[in-house]
Structure 1
Amino acid sequence: MLATLAFAMVATFMTLIMSGRVSALVALTLTPVAFGLMAGHGVDLGPMMLDGIKTLAPTGVMLAFAILYFGVMTDAGLFDPLVRLVVRVAHGDPVRITVGSAILALLVSLDGDGSTTYLICCTAMLPLYRRIGLNPLVLACLLMLACGVTNITPWGGPTARAASALHLDAGEIFTSMLPAMAAGAVFIVAVAALLGRSERRRLMALSVDGALHVPADADLAEDLVRGNDLTERPKLILANLALTLALLTALVLGLLPLPALFIIAAALALTLNYPSVEAQKARIAAHAPNILPVIALIFAAGIFTGILKGTGMTEALADAVVRAIPTQLGPHLAPVTALLSMPFTFFVSNDAFFFGVLPVLSEAAAKYGVAPVEMARAALTSQAVHLLSPLVPSTYLLVGLVRVELAQHQRFTLPWGIALSLVLLAAAIVTGVVPITG
């Protein structure tokens, strides 16, 4: 009964989101409350919701101050030289712009933090997309695909979860996945070129004479970097760059928790660039409209995950899926796990899958000679699909930055995310790090 309610709740939620009948905030809040009541719970739903909110609160705090930090850096003009460089290389060609976006995202996302990648790449590339007339969904798609590959790094999160759940060394999992990650990166660049060609044809079809018209590089660069003289700080570019590099280094090394790092960095950025109290208040007020929607959705997602876990629906869902696997598939549990991880990490959290489902599947696979490390590698191939989940906080940051609806982003990116996951799995099988059979 509980598993049936869990499946029904997820199906209802996704239907509401994908159809656009209600906002994500409403669906994330009311759907789990309704199904929690159906499961026989009442006032005890309150503590469950609060637990979920507490779990996501650090992420909410981190994103709030990350948006403020990178907003201040944009106001101060830190990314203007990067924009000029991109303009010179791209020459207004959609294919060069999309391929450049993919390469930039793959490099920036090596820090393992999707939120930072979205903020930096959107700040640098989105003005160019808007000026040329490119579909912002293309940028959102490429950024998320890049993070789907680099999330496999040991400091990205999923690999550490898999290693902890199966008592393995994270390096043993990650190192052998490098060829598959390289294949995934090549695939992303190819997708970028394909989407760029599609955008070029679309823009040519919209023009009067059927030709592609873009501004000259000099005019384009000036349009994109021209800002407000009251906020730009060209003399502080090197100081701001040093602060940003120090922040990224601290993020990778894990010197402090992410929320603390971004709070400190935002305070330093405000003090460095806008010493007066009035100017600091103005910058905070200017970026508040970008911060509030993201934070509201994250806390609403906390209600969803809190009820899903507190009512036992997560465990019931996992048990139902594991029991449904036919015994004849036992020797092939590594690729089966890779395929299962796509929908599973989309509908429930990474924690629920890696700590709740993967150990059970790994124990079953061991009977057929499939090693735990091979199961861990298989499970990691689905991160491109996982990042599209409405339960991933950084997803709301991305759609907020590019100003599209979550459902639009999911419909556009999901086929490419599935394709990338299959490419990673195929490459892992070809290189022998994920066995087809035990």
Structure 2
Amino acid sequence: MLAILAFTMVATFMTLIMTKRLSALVALILVPTLFAVGMGYTAGLGDMMLEGVRDLAPTGVMLIFGILYFGLMIDAGLFDPLIKLIVRLAHGDAMRITIGTVVLALLVSLDGDGTTTYMITTAALLPLYRHMKMDVRIMACLIIMSSAVMNLLPWGGPTARAATALQLDPRDVFVGLIPAMVVTAIWVLIVAWMFGVRERKRLAALSQQLTEEEMSGEAVVAHDAGDVKARRPQLMWLNLLLTGALMVCLITGVLPLAILFMLGFAIALMINYPSLQQQRERISAHAGNALAVAGLVFAAGIFTGILSGTKMIDAMADWIIACVPPTLGPYMAPITALLSMPFTFLISNDAFYFGMLPILAKTGAEYGISAMDMAQASLVGQQIHLLSPLVPSTYLLATMAGIEFGEHQRFTLKWALGSCIVFLPACLVLGIFPLCASAPAGPS
């Protein structure tokens, strides 16, 4: 019964936000609260909520100061040369812009952190998409699909979790997946090509004519990049050095992400805008975005806190595992891959990889399926995971792109599912993990 209620709660939440009946912020708070009260968990409800908020507090702080930091860099003009270069290379062609979006997002995603990827790519591409009157949902879709491919890097998170849960080397798990990642990246480029064809036709129908000034990129920067008085072109190299140092520290893990962004923001603010009045103006200019994203993160903490505190996550996992009949035991690798799609979307990565995967792997071992095969199969769902309402950085992408979270999900979901459908057969065809255990031992 608890599992049924859990699935019902998640389905209710998704329906409300995707049909625009409630905003994501309101739904994240009210839906789990009403379900928990209805299930009789009133006594410990506050503790559950606070625990969830506490767990996501570092992420919330990191996003607040990350938004403020990159907002300052945009104001100071750090990304203006990149925007101009992209515009010149695109030459007003929607096809080049969409394919360039994927290439840029794949490269920036090498740091393994979705938050910085979304900030940098959106800062560089959003002015161009708006100027060309292209659909910004396409930009958000392509960025998140590219990031999902690169999210499997050993330092990206999911691969490390899967490897840790099954006591494997993250590098070995990742290396085996590289061919399937390449195939999936090609799929993302094909999606970009399809979007480019569609946008070409739409823009041609609108008879958009670009002038020489617009083609040069100057108009894009001047029109969309903010307050000209805030520009600091003389400090561009210093800002670039500071941002590069921040990226190196993020990758090497010198300090927690939240602390690094706080320090980076303080230094950038002091260097670029030394007067108190200027500092207040820059903080005010980006406070709205920071507050919107942080509010969603803390609201997501309430959702996850109730899911965990009421043991709904455990009930969902146990119910699914119990539904797998023994006759399907030799097929546990592809079954795990299929289960990873909805479950890394509905519950957190920690809950899936540390809660469900060890049980699935133990079952697979009884049929001769190795822990490495199970770990790699469990990562198939990451192609759709970033669209989960439990992933804080996705709210950041939607907010920066200026689209509703539910709208972003509706637009991107089918293409992300396409990535899963490409990734899974690629793994099977390339022999990354088997369709069926070659010599099933049967349950002991």
CA distance in 1, matches of 2:266, 2:210: 39
**Partner amino acid, structure 2, of 1:83:** I
Relative to 1, partners in 2 of residues 1:229 and 1:417: Cα closer, same or farther, differing over 3 Å?
closer
Name the structure 1 match of 2:441: none
Q: Equivalences for 1:161-240 in 2 at 5 Å? A: 161-207=161-207, 212-216=208-212, 218=214, 221-226=217-222, 228-240=227-239
2:42 match: secondary structure: coil
Is contact 1:76-1:232 (8 Å) kept? yes
Using the TM superposition, give the Cα deviation of residue 219 of structure 1 relative to its aligned residue in structure 2, in angstroms: 5.3
Q: Output the amino acid matched with 2:99.
A: V
State the aligned residue count: 434
Cα deviation digits, residues 206-244 of structure 1 (max 9, x gap): 33xxxx533336555111222534210111111111111
Distance in 1 separating the partners of 2:400 and 2:278: 23
Instruction: Check whether the contact 2:213–2:219 (CA below 8 A) recurs between aligned residues.
Output: no
Structure 1 residues 367-386: aligned runs within 5 Å: 367-386=366-385
The letter of the residue matching 1:147 is: S
Aligned to 1:108: 108
Residues of 1 paired with 2:184 and 2:61: CA distance? 32
Which runs of 5 or more structure 2 residues have no equivalent in the other structure?
438-444
2:350 and 2:324 mapped to 1: Cα distance? 21
Change (3 A) 1:36 1:232: same
Q: Deviations over 1:184-226 (max 9, x none)?
A: 111111111111111111122233xxxx533336555111222
| Cα distance between partner residues in 2 of 1:94 and 1:69 | 30
Query: Are the structure 2 counterparts of residues 370 and 217 from structure 1 closer, same or farther at C-alpha, using a change threshold of 3 Å?
Result: farther
What pairs up with 1:316-335 in 2 under 5 angstroms?
316-335=315-334
Amino acid of the residue matched to residue 124 of structure 1?
A: A
Paired residue secondary structure (1:389): coil
| Structure-1 separation of matches of 2:210 and 2:188 | 25
2:73 aligns with 73
| 2:217 alignment partner, SS class | helix
* 1:256-405 → structure 2 map (5 Å cutoff): 256-405=255-404
Asked whether the 8 Å contact 1:374–1:435 carries over to 2, the reply is: yes
My pick for the range that moved more, 390-399 or 219-228, is 219-228
Cα distance in structure 1, aligned partners of 2:265 and 2:67: 9
| Alignment partner of 1:13 is 2:13 | yes
Q: Does 1:249 align with 2:248?
A: yes
Corresponding residue SS for 1:381: coil
Secondary structure in 1 matching 2:389? coil
Partner of residue 125, structure 1 = 125
| Secondary structure of the structure 2 residue equivalent to 1:168 | coil
Q: In 2, are the aligned partners of 1:366 and 1:372 still within 8 Å (CA)?
A: yes
Return the offset for 1:264: 0.5
1:432 and 2:431 are equivalent in the alignment: yes
TM-score (norm 2): 0.96
Match of 1:325, SS state, is coil
C-alpha separation between the residues in 1 aligned to 2:105 and 2:310?
38
Q: Distance in 2 between the 1:373 and 1:178 partners?
A: 14
Sort the Cα spacing of 1:150 and 1:103 in 2 relative to 1 into closer, same or farther, 3 A.
same
AA aligned to 1:232 is R
Q: TM-score, normalised by structure 1?
A: 0.97
In the TM superposition, structure 1's runs of 4+ consecutive aligned residues that sit over 6 Å from their partners are: none
Encode CA deviations 1:339-376: one digit per residue, 9 max, x unaligned. 11111111111111111111111100111111111111
2:149 is the alignment partner of 1:149:
yes
Tell me how far apart the structure 1 counterparts of residues 297 and 43 of structure 2 sit (CA, whole Å): 22
User: What is the percentage of aligned positions where both structures have the same residue?
Assistant: 54
Q: Distance in 2 between matches of 1:281 and 1:77?
A: 18
* RMSD over equivalenced CA pairs, Å: 1.1
Against the structure 1 CA distance between its residues 199 and 219, is the aligned structure 2 distance closer, same or farther, given a 3 Å change threshold? Answer: closer
Residues 88 and 217 of structure 1 are in contact (CA less than 8 Å); yes or no, is this contact kept in structure 2?
Answer: no
